[in-house]
């Protein structure tokens, strides 16, 4: 099992991203992004747990028996934390009252949709497709808005949040349709999973590469 875990190159990329966030922490520790290393570590631990469950379902700490090889529940919790965190970050850094309201009400709507989705679709055995798609589209919108709102700033490319926005936009634009396709994959068309999985991995690689670039090129006090 350990060999399979350490052979996962994307876990290594997560570790490198966390390392970059810690090495450059002094540049942004006084900003609202100061908890970003914790968020990145949580993402790594979630992915690690998901991989462990996939390799050995008996190690699933939440579910035993028939559905022990399902890891949807950990990604349900992950989505709630991930999207809520970035909604808050973009809410703080937008200067538009209108956009602040969109983020605030949109974020509340997401939480409501997530719980409704979980009521009708089991968080143990099914993807939370509707709530994730909604959350993803909202995050794409507010990430694009941040870039457009600051497009005349000559130091935009030196801001960490620009690179985070860019990474999130690329990842979510690629992944949310892939997530929809994943939900319709069965034993009969499982080959489709292996056809689109490389695009998912490429999107992850691009997003975390953007994060790393942001940590490296950012200027202190330009969050």
Q: Which of 25, 17, 139 is nearest to 79 (CA)?
A: 139
Is 174 a domain residue? yes
Is 64 a domain residue? yes
- The answer to whether 170 touches 144, Cβ cutoff 8 Å, is no
Both tokens assigned to 57: 């379902």
Report the 10 Å Cβ neighbour count for 116: 12
pLDDT at residue 36 tops 80: yes
Residue 218 to residue 213: CA distance in whole angstroms: 8
Is 117 a domain residue? yes
Is 33 a domain residue? yes
Continuous H helices in 94-190: 97-120, 129-149, 160-182
Is 156 a domain residue? yes
pLDDT at residue 220 tops 70: yes
Residue 198 to residue 73: CA distance in whole angstroms: 24
Both tokens assigned to 15: 């570790």
Residue 6 CA to its chain's centroid (Å): 21
- Tens of pLDDT along 186-197? 667 778 888 998
Q: Is the pTM of this model over 0.85?
A: yes
Parent domain of 179? 2-217
SS3 category, 7: coil
Query: For the chain, what is the mean pLDDT?
Result: 89
The percentage of the chain sitting over the pLDDT mark of 70, rounded to a whole number, equals 87
Residues 99-111, mean pLDDT to the nearest whole number: 98
Number of domains in the chain: 1
Residues 6+ apart with CB under 8 A from 219: 27, 155, 158, 159
Is 223 a domain residue? no
Is 222 a domain residue? no
């Amino acid at each position: 099992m350990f060999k399979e875990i350490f052979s996962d190159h994307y876990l290594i990329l997560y570790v490198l991203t966390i390392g970059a966030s810690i090495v450059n922490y002094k540049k942004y520790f006084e900003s609202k992004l100061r908890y970003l290393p914790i968020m990145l570590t949580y993402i790594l631990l979630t992915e690690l747990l998901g991989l462990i469950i996939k390799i050995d379902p008996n190690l699933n700490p939440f579910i035993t028996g028939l559905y022990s090889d399902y890891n949807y529940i950990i990604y349900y919790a992950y989505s709630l934390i991930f999207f809520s965190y970035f909604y808050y970050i973009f809410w703080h850094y937008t200067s538009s009252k209108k956009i602040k309201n969109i983020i605030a009400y949109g974020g509340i709507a997401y939480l409501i949709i997530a719980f409704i989705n979980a009521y009708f679709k089991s968080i143990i055995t099914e993807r939370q497709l509707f709530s994730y798609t909604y959350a993803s589209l909202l995050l794409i919108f507010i990430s694009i808005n941040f870039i457009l709102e600051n497009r005349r700033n000559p130091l935009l490319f030196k801001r960490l949040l620009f690179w985070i926005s860019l990474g999130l936009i690329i990842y979510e634009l690629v992944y949310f349709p892939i997530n929809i396709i994943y939900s319709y994959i069965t034993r009969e068309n499982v080959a489709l999973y292996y056809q689109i999985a490389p695009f998912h991995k490429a999107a992850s690689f691009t997003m975390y590469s953007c994060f790393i670039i942001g940590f490296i090129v950012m200027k202190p006090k330009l969050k």
